[in-house]
Amino acid sequence: RGGGKGKPPPSPKAGPPTTPPAGTPCPQRCRRAGTLQSNFCSSDFVLTGTVKSVSRGSPQEPGWAVVSVLSLYKSGGLGVPQPTKGTTLRLQLPCHLCPALKKGSSYVLMGRLGGDGGALLPPDAFVVPYRPQQQQVLGNLSKKPCRGTP
């Protein structure tokens, strides 16, 4: 009579750890904070461009986006040749999920310079679909000096 099937109770510590592997700064959800104005000065570079190709890395490897530059509003040491229109730029995507970019679409891209001087779009980069009305706003922002920079 009595007696179970000999199965131990489930352990609360079962399963792999849920921390993401090192080198993949991916948030739980892709979010964009702020506005064109609030992100302009804090970004190393600001440009509008059309995505030519996107290569998403594995969760452990960075991905890349190749962008054809429409306009450059802040170069931040990118070393983009003049005239900038039509120049292609390779942007590193440290997170394979964010920001979400679609081939053939145009965006306002505000990113950072990586340690090697290359262009970097971290998951929290300000990236929005490009609309022609934004050109004037970005042009005006590029003429104003940012506080805290010479």
| The pLDDT value given to residue 137 | 94
Query: What is the rounded radius of gyration, in angstroms, for the C-alpha atoms of the chain?
Result: 21
| The pLDDT value given to residue 96 | 76
d(CA 90, CA 2): 68
Q: Write down the pTM of the prediction.
A: 0.77
| The pLDDT value given to residue 16 | 35
| CA-to-CA dists, residue 108 to 4, 28, 89, 112, angstroms | 63, 23, 14, 14
Q: Which fold has domain 36-143?
A: OB fold (Dihydrolipoamide Acetyltransferase, E2P) (2.40.50)
| The pLDDT value given to residue 117 | 81
Are residues 28 and 48 in contact, defined by beta-carbon separation less than 8 angstroms? no
Q: Which amino acid, one-letter code, is at 48?
A: T
| The pLDDT value given to residue 106 | 97
- Parallel, antiparallel, or unpaired: how do β-strands 126-129 and 106-113 relate? antiparallel
Are residues 26 and 61 in contact, defined by beta-carbon separation less than 8 angstroms? no
β partners of residue 129: 107
Residue ranges of the chain with per-residue pLDDT less than 50: 7-24, 150
d(CA 76, CA 84): 14
Are residues 73 and 4 in contact, defined by beta-carbon separation less than 8 angstroms? no
| The pLDDT value given to residue 95 | 85
| The pLDDT value given to residue 6 | 52
> C-alpha 21: how far from its chain's center?
18
Sequence ranges of the domains in the chain: 36-143
Strand, coil or helix: 70: strand
